[in-house]
Amino acid sequence: MSDITEDKIQEEVKRIVKEELEDYFRMARPGFTMSSGHKTTGHGVSEFCLTTDTIQGMHFYKQGNVKMKANKSFEIYSGESLRSVELNRFSIVLDAETGHVKIISKQGDVVIEGENVKINASDTIQLNGDRIVNLVSPSIQIEGDGGPVSIISHEEIDMIGGSVSIYSESGAVELSGGEDVFANTDLIQRIINLIDDIKRLGVFL
């Protein structure tokens, strides 16, 4: 016969429960619950969870991630008490040491406003619009420092201005049309090669 008795079974159950619940904490109050040390469905063991009765709150997990949830809006305000001598300091910082930063608005606009808005990339800045990319300003300046600047359209390009100037530093300005293929074979070939190069860079992906 087996030597496992009912007392030993109860002792083993107590041992397992003690190990599982050794760091477990839960406090419920009207409107919210605080808990820690329990296993979650997809994020491992919790470190600190504050959850309201309407399933809003803030959760920290021991594996290193944090989740914050609001059922309608989530607002962060900072910097109101900065003195004039501190205005060059950052009030809100989003810093991803590794990985990506992703901002999604599925049914609304993404608006970034500031006295100066700066977007810096160590490699590539890409703007994609399914319908329109619209740049509006009293003055627009596009510079290529050390490399070519290419403006290519699969359809039409319109250039309209009160005055239009085209200047070439290294040689004559070259203008051609599709009807000049036979007269300007070398130029057309260079344009075709340029388009192929840009496609390879993924401009039209």
The full set of domain ranges for the chain reads: 6-69
Distance in angstroms (rounded) separating the CA atoms of residues 202 and 55: 43
Phi, psi of 89 (to 5 degrees): -85, 155
Average pLDDT, the chain: 82
pLDDT tens for the chain, 205 residues long, are 456 777 777 766 666 666 555 678 889 999 999 999 888 888 888 999 999 999 999 999 999 999 999 999 888 888 787 776 666 778 888 888 888 999 999 889 999 999 899 999 998 999 988 899 999 999 999 888 877 888 888 788 888 888 989 888 888 888 777 665 555 556 666 666 677 666 666 654 4
- Taken in order 39, 42, 44, 46, the sign of the CA dihedral is negative
Distance in angstroms (rounded) separating the CA atoms of residues 169 and 37: 69
DSSP state of 187: H
Give the pLDDT confidence of 60-100 residue by residue, as tens digits: 999 999 999 999 988 888 878 777 666 677 888 888 888 89
Tokens linked to 7: 């007392």
83-92 burial by CB neighbour count: b if 16+ within 10 A, else e? eeeeeeeeee
